[in-house]
Structure 1
Amino acid sequence: MPAKDYTNTSVARNRKLIEGHIREILRLIGEDVDREGLLETPARVTRMYEEIFSGYEADYKDILGVAFDEQHEELVIVKDIVYYSQCEHHMAPFFGNIHIGYIPSGKIAGLSKFARLVEAVTRKLQVQERVTSEIANILMEELTPHGCMVVVEGEHLCMCSRGVKKPGSKTVTSAVRGTFRTDAALRSEFLSLIRN
């Protein structure tokens, strides 16, 4: 599969400016910016930013825009969608799995669309709580299901590698919309199925 093209992101459009700032940060923390190992670092970091911050360019309507008429009105779950994001407080990575369940109301999305949506929402500076709510809100707006539930599990390097230094600790957040909010049995079914 060919590599994704991130050359039209805001990072790419500001590449030289960002490279200059990264070079200055390296200098300010005490590095020799002219040593061999760091000569290409500003360009490498900028290329990485093009990818990990590509969510700012995402169009959620475009991602979920192709839906199919289908009279399936039972639970659909896409689970264990791996994600990587950047904490907006420390710009440190956080990552984990996202589980999405929804009850269609005559319209279903292709399964890969959920992974694309996760990528679009997480590839920007984020907090896990917002990731969880954004995905649920976008699904409700774009697919108009009877309801949806999103569970996000995350390991945050800002908590593992600095500060309290508690590696292995996980944060779990959930967002519940529509019928999931009022139907405890449906919530239980979803939670039991994502644990299998």
Structure 2
Amino acid sequence: MRQNEKGSLFERRFDLEEEVTKILKAIGENPSREGLLDTPKRVKKAYEFLTSGYTADIHKIVNNAIFEEESRGMVLVRDIEMYSLCEHHLLPFFGKAHVGYIPNKKIIGISKIPRIVDVFARRLQVQERMTEQIGNALMEVLEPLGVAVVVKAKHLCMMMRGVEKQNSELFTSCMLGEFKTNMVTRNEFLDLIRTGST
């Protein structure tokens, strides 16, 4: 989906501010009281940011930041902070992503890897799908010998409601190319992301 001159994605679908006002009324609040007067506007702005991944273009984000390089050593960006929204309850989940790849005569600017993570985190998500989307996107734009992604996150839908387990974390992984077929390479990646972890 793309923006057009008539307005943002949300403006074209419906007036999100009106919908937030309806939610406030439905839960028994008064949208006219001082503390809530600007809440619908703030929520709309927040959701446009938190779901900006729908209109992001991976190729524009990479923006030619791919460089010829003979190096074949593993490249790893660890502890990438990640914030997303669970598609089942619209509650946040957050944690860290670890992304590694093995170059195939090309490397990518390291700041682009967290940006790729954000493209998929800033959507309504399930962690399992998001992890695979990150890996597949890096394979597509860089064509490396392999990509590995591990995400560790806490889900507020599990912490604030339901089973209310505060210390549970969900781990997901995506192993592609040499990370999937070569156990030594996979173990090197896993050892590197564990080093210094707290």
Specify the TM-score bucket, using the shorter chain as the normaliser.
Answer: over 0.9
Corresponding residue of 1:86: 85
Kindly provide the amino acid, as one letter, of the partner of residue 175 in structure 1: C
Q: Please show how residues 54-93 of structure 1 align to structure 2 within 5 Å.
A: 54-66=52-64, 67-93=66-92
2:3 paired residue number: none
Aligned to 2:4: none
C-alpha distance in structure 2 between counterparts of 1:188 and 1:170, whole Å: 21
Task: Report whether the alignment pairs 1:10 with 2:5.
Answer: no
Return closer, same or farther for 1:9/1:110 CA change in 2, 3 Å cut-off: farther
Tell me by how many angstroms 1:15 deviates.
Answer: 9.4
After TM superposition, the score normalised by the length of structure 1 is 0.92
Question: Which residues of 2 match residues 16-165 of structure 1 at below 5 A?
Answer: 17-66=15-64, 67-165=66-164
Using the TM superposition, give the Cα deviation of residue 62 of structure 1 relative to its aligned residue in structure 2, in angstroms.
Answer: 1.7
Equivalent position amino acid for 1:28 in 2: A
How many aligned residue pairs are there? Answer: 188
Q: CA deviation at 1:64?
A: 2.5
- Structure 2, unmatched stretches of 5+, are 1-6
Q: Which has the higher mean CA deviation after the structures are superposed, 156-165 or 52-61? A: 52-61
Per-residue Cα deviation, 1:70-122 (whole angstroms, up to 9, x for no partner)? 11111000010001000000000000000001001011110000011011110
2:171 and 2:14 mapped to 1: Cα distance?
Answer: 38
C-alpha distance in structure 2 between counterparts of 1:9 and 1:121, whole Å: 19
Q: CA deviation at 1:163?
A: 0.2
CA deviation string 1:105-150 (max 9, x = no partner)? 0111100000110111100100000110001111111100000110
Fraction of identical pairs, as percent: 49
Deviation >3 Å, runs of 4+: 13-16
How well do the aligned residues superpose, as a CA RMSD in angstroms? Answer: 1.4
Unaligned runs of 5+ in 1: 1-7
Match of 1:5 in 2: none
After superposition, give the CA deviation of every residue in 1:31-66 in whole Å (9 maximum; x if it has no partner).
111111111110111111121111111111222342
Cα distance between partner residues in 1 of 2:165 and 2:190: 26
Contact residue 65 and residue 142 of structure 1 kept, 8 A: no
Partner residue in 1 for 2:183: 184
| Superposition TM-score, scaled by structure 2 size | 0.91
**One-letter amino acid matched to 1:176:** M
